[in-house]
Amino acid sequence: MTTRDWAGLDQWRREGSQIWASKRLDESTPWFDGHFPGQAILPGVAILAMICQATRMGFDEALVLRQVARVRFRELVTPGVELVLTLDLKESLDEVEALFSVNAGEQNFARGRLVFARRDRGS
């Protein structure tokens, strides 16, 4: 199983430069296995994997993660939460920047900025 399988988003849509996606997390979600016994907590890398997947789904070209910047994990994510990912995209010839926020209702779990290089454009 790859991280792409683990991050599998339940819903996804793109409108212009914005992407919305969601993922319902229950105790059977593989990311919780062993992290941590007795108190399941979603690893931050799982949130980043979801953001990467949501971004890449919006493009017909390969995007390579180049930079993770200003990422803040604000709250612990536990089973039973439905995360809503909101991404604002900024595109140039060489890269795609995704400013993201991860929420459940009014609660913010994470926010930050990822930068992807466009692989087939000379990167």
- Please identify every residue annotated as catalytic: 35
Given this model, what pLDDT does residue 1 score? 41
Domain region containing 60: 3-121
- Give me the CATH number covering residue 59: 3.10.129.10
Residue 48 and residue 101 in contact, taking contact as beta carbons nearer than 8 Å: no
Quote the number of domains for the chain. Answer: 1
Sign of CA dihedral 37, 40, 46, 48: negative
The least confident of 24-28, 85-89, 106-110 is 24-28
Enclosing H/E stretch for 90: strand 81-91
Contacts of 50 (CB under 8 A, 6+ apart): 7, 9, 21, 23, 83, 85, 102
**Is this prediction's pTM over 0.85?**
yes
